[in-house]
Structure 1
Amino acid sequence: MKKSSLLLVSAAAALALSLPAKAGESSLLVFDWAGFEVEGLYQAYKDKYGDAPTYSFYGDDDEAYQKIASGFKADVAHPCSQMVSKYRDAGLIEPWDPAKIPALADIDPKYLDSPIFKDDKGVWFIPTDWGAAAIAYNPEEVPAEDVASLQVFVNPKYQGRISLPNSSDDVWSLAYLATGVTDWTKVTDEQFAAAAAWLREAHKNVLSYWADPAEQAQTMASGEVLISWSWNDGVTALRNENYPVAFQREAKEGSATFFCGYVNLKDGPGDEARAYDFMNSWLRPEAARALLDNIGYGHSSLKAMETIPLEEQVTAGIGPVKAPILPQVPNDPQQREKQLAEFEKIKAGF
């Protein structure tokens, strides 16, 4: 029954990549990650308008950007921080008016500490959620000492039992950490080459590159995959189905963090007022519980995070850790494109 449930989730997520989740009467189209159509996040919006937003889904930041750049029309999109400069530089977004989003003042300042996100024209990016990229593993099959280091991903013992995200940013955060880099904004050519060589070794052990957390959870639930470089949501899905899974954020080389949020797309087809009401719903303190329980992520709002006890944060993998952290903050766009191209070569076996 449990495996069937995860298989159904995976199939539904795959279908959602190409179809809107709700056909509808709503005049707000949200372009979002699969799985974020959580009612508790848009509850105040629904209370006001009597309907849910219409959702269209994607599974990867670069996929989403390419679709928007190719002419797909939506009102808001949900990129992670390192993508915002691409949307700005391409003229695809416009700033939010802070006066219409009172809870903006409650966002942890570290998430807005960049001229890419906020300048004299307004706020270009509203951070809403954050999570970790770390080792998910089956503790019934994998000893804790094996995942004490990120070198588990190149350990021949686990050949064919490993999965990695089909996301350039996440695999490079892993490779940089594994080769001693915790700041990807200052990567030298030598460090890039070392990380690429490490990724090629890890590729030899990879059974699959997962496109979304539902797919990742299904491969771990089936027993095919024992170890994965994972976001919190895949771990949350497995725990909710009572599968044995642990989340190791304190490997000796460390783990990564990322944060994501919403941009206001230019020439959106819907009602601009609804876009602001959607954001105000997301930034309610009550949204933190829905975000944690359904997806396993932390909220950008300090007031919202105050509603989640510290022990729950630690269990979910969003508490403090005693290990190096690589923050996936905006980095050099040219370096990011270089990483993306090299990742495609590695996946192709070159």
Structure 2
Amino acid sequence: MKKTSVLLASAALATALSAPVQAGDPDFLVFDWAGFEVEGILQGFIDKNGDRPSYSFYGDDDEAYQKLASGFKADVAHPCSQMVSKYRDAGLIEPWDVSKIPAYATIDPKFLKSKIFADDEGVWFIPTDWGASAIAYNPEEVPAEDVASLQVFTNPKYAGRMSLPNSSDDVWALAYLATGVTDWTEVTEEQFEAAAAWLREVHPNVLSYWNDPSEQAQTMASGEVLISWSWNDGVAYLRADNYPVEFQREAAEGSSTFICGYVNLKDGPGAEEKAYDFMNSWLRPESAPALLEAIGYGHSSLTAMESIPMEEQVAAGIGPIDAPILPQVPNDPELRERQLAEFEKIKAGF
């Protein structure tokens, strides 16, 4: 495929993000990250209801939360795990009735451990997809030894040729890993300050903070960026267009993982039963290959993942690794807000 395909994909995504809704079923609206409207995931919903869901898109978790907290109405939303407590505390969500979602029982138990996700009041969050945050790089211009450590982001050799996500969670996961922390549920003041200092050291080297994977892929496809802290989907987009890219999850200090899923929004404008049709469609075994092919993510269902050969999982960057991992599990909400505020200062040069 030609270079223009990534550029056009990025332009199409920008259009999607600027549009309020991608029209589909008028009785069901999904508030989601762009890129997850994958037909193979939605096929069960389409078969039952005759149309795709309608979609409204956002670029990051905090943007989504602020819009919903300000009164925007949708039926379900797709936060990552560390945001669920904010949705609960703000009274924006209600529990799922998992008796209506038979495949809930197939979800990998490691994704269900938090009491924030499920308690005596019910199930508040249904994990559906997971991925990694790691180093994406152009192997034709960056030797593998240069990305053997996360300290590559401080290397002046690549000043102005690297990008980071405009996502506080992912950037802080990187900074904690780079300064020796693999568990952000127990962060000391000294560890926070060390991670913040590291991000300030990196900031002058950063060409851009990308807002979505297509934007990231575009800057790498153009040659502007050689090294990026990336999710799986940015790498998947580049590989689909035959760009040279590798995904280094085994840097000496490690890499990060995240889990995302769906919450049932309170007072949604659509038909409640269609929220269950949607979740049942997502958790079908057939959804896992479609998810992996489209954006390189893993599925939360053990049954679904059994359909994907391990070599394909490894190639996509979701296989087992021999390196430290910082899981982006729910952490202290006050720490998260502090990280968010500090990240804004760092981006502004302070």
TM-score by length of 2: 0.99
Return the alpha-carbon distance in structure 2 between the equivalents of residues 105 and 334 of structure 1: 32
Judge conservation of contact 1:124–1:263 (CA < 8 Å) in 2. Answer: yes
Structure 1 residues 6-49: Cα deviation after superposition (integer angstroms, max 9, x where no partner): 11111111122232452244311000001111011110000111
Matched, 1:307 2:307: yes
Cα distance in structure 2, aligned partners of 1:162 and 1:304: 35
**Structure 1: runs of 5 or more not aligned:** none
Equivalent residue number for residue 166 of structure 2: 166
In the alignment, the residues of structure 2 paired with residue 14 and residue 311 of structure 1 have an alpha-carbon distance, to the nearest angstrom, of 33
Q: What whole-Å deviation, never above 9, does each CA across 1:290-333 have from its counterpart, x for those lacking one?
A: 00000100000000010000011000000000000000000000
Aligned equivalent of 1:153: 153
SS at match of 1:278: helix
CA distance in 1 between counterparts of 2:248 and 2:162 reads 15
SS at match of 2:57: strand
Aligned equivalent of 2:27: 27
Q: What is aligned with 1:8?
A: 8
Find the residue that maps to 2:308 and give its secondary structure.
coil
**1:342 partner letter:** E
Matches within 5 A, 1:87-236: 87-236=87-236
Aligned equivalents of 2:162, 2:155: Cα separation in 1: 10
Give me the whole-angstrom Cα distance separating, in 1, the residues matched to 2:25 and 2:104: 28
Classify the secondary structure of the residue corresponding to 1:262. strand
Q: What residue number does 2:68 align with?
A: 68
Secondary structure in structure 1 of the residue aligned to 2:264: strand
- Coordinate RMSD, CA, aligned: 0.8
Is residue 256 from structure 1 mapped to residue 259 from structure 2 by the alignment? no
Q: Which moved more, 1:2-11 or 1:161-170?
A: 2-11
The alignment covers a number of residue pairs equal to 350
Counterpart of 1:270 in structure 2 is: 270
Corresponding residue number in structure 1 for 2:56? 56
Cα displacement string for residues 65-109 of structure 1 (whole angstroms, at most 9, x for unaligned residues): 000000000000000000000000000000000100000000001
Distance 2:72 2:2 in 1: 36
Aligned to 1:333: 333
Cα deviation per residue 1:190-231 (whole Å; 9 max; x = unaligned)? 000000000011111000000000000000000000000000
| Secondary structure of 1:318 counterpart | coil
Matched to 2:147, the amino acid is V
CA distance in 1, matches of 2:41, 2:77: 15
CA contact (8 A) 1:130 1:297 kept: yes
1:349 aligns to what SS in structure 2?
coil
- 1:247 aligned residue: 247
Question: What residue ranges of structure 2 are gaps of 5+ in the alignment?
Answer: none
Q: Give the SS at the match of 2:41.
A: coil
Question: Whole-Å Cα distance in 1 between the matches of residues 151 and 177 of structure 2?
Answer: 10
Q: Distance in 1 between matches of 2:131 and 2:2?
A: 25
Identity level (%): 81
d(CA) in 2 for partners of 1:242, 1:164:
22
Instruction: Give the equivalent residue in structure 1 for 2:323.
Output: 323
Aligned to 2:343: 343
Q: Following TM superposition, by how much is the alpha carbon of 1:234 offset from its aligned partner in structure 2, in angstroms?
A: 0.2
Distance in 1 separating the partners of 2:187 and 2:2: 43
1:250 and 1:347 map into 2 onto residues whose CA distance is: 27
**Counterpart-to-counterpart distance in 2, 1:23 and 1:258:** 29
The one-letter code sitting in structure 1 at the alignment partner of 2:133 is A
Q: Is the 8 A contact 1:18 1:56 kept in 2?
A: no
* Residue 286 of structure 1: how far off its partner (Å): 0.6
- How far 1:2 moved relative to its partner? 2.2
- Aligned equivalents of 2:44, 2:98: Cα separation in 1: 19
2:104 and 2:209 map into 1 onto residues whose CA distance is 36
CA distance in 1, matches of 2:23, 2:39: 16
Is the CA contact 1:20–1:54 (under 8 Å) kept in the aligned structure 2?
no
Q: Distance in 1 between matches of 2:21 and 2:40?
A: 16
Contact persistence 1:117–1:123 (CA under 8 A):
yes
How far apart, CA to CA, are the structure 1 residues paired with 2:69 and 2:289?
Answer: 34
Paired amino acid for 1:30: V
Q: CA offset at residue 119 of structure 1?
A: 1.2
Query: SS at the partner of 1:91?
Result: coil
Contact 2:16 2:22 survives alignment (8 Å):
no
